[in-house]
Structure 1
Amino acid sequence: MHFMGYRYLLLMVSLSPITYLQHTHPALPHYDSSEWGWLRGALGTMDRDYGILNKVFHNITDTHVAHHLFSNMPHYHAMEATKAIKPILGEFYQFDDTPIYKALWRETKECLYVEPDDGAPQKGVFWYRNKF
């Protein structure tokens, strides 16, 4: 394999779990077309602390909520934007500081499929479940 092929493979191997963890967490709701809206979709993501890897990946790991809200914003403003939106979003800002290897294991075990929240007033809201 050519050198660039190895670099591409390494990039894909590292970005796939990051993307998975940004969009998969038991606390993240999913919506059908009756409840989905741009803001709900944008807030349906999770910032995570990847330690030293935050800098390696230019903070795409711990500023993903801001990226969803301001997708045209240059990444070098993402930390500043995240600090600004956290107090505004309050409980709607999602952050998980679980170590990545534990989070990957937990989400792989617990987030198998989504099903409706029968007790919710909105019928188009879905949550991750892990038992059939």
Structure 2
Amino acid sequence: MATPAFEEIVEDFEFLEDWEDRYRHVIEQGKAMEPLDDAFKVPATKVNGCASQVWLQPTIENGQFHFDGDSDALIVRGLIAVLRTLYNGLPVGDVPKVDAGGELARLGLHDHLSAQRSNGLRAMIDRIREVALASA
């Protein structure tokens, strides 16, 4: 269950043969994302378990899940952008049903992220799922 925006990233990754190009593409996704307002960079939105500073600010409007986020690390900012394409716009009840690991495996991310980055990515996914479950 992937959004059309996520499917576009999958297609982009299929076109990019070299992991370095894919890595740059993820970073570019993060650079294109609007920065999170500093007012939301507070302990309540901070994601623990990440090697870098990460903040996620979820919102639910008309039953649809959305979140914004930010990080002090370029690659993590890019990962946030990728997660946004995976989850934003879904009905809140569908968010916990997304097989994030399976979808992200289509990009080959786990093969190229450090253990710390992979743990941080899991922490972000867990936070997204927790918020959605609490709101459903």
TM norm structure 1: 0.28
Name whichever structure is richer in helix by fraction. Answer: 2
Q: Larger Rg: 1 or 2? A: 1
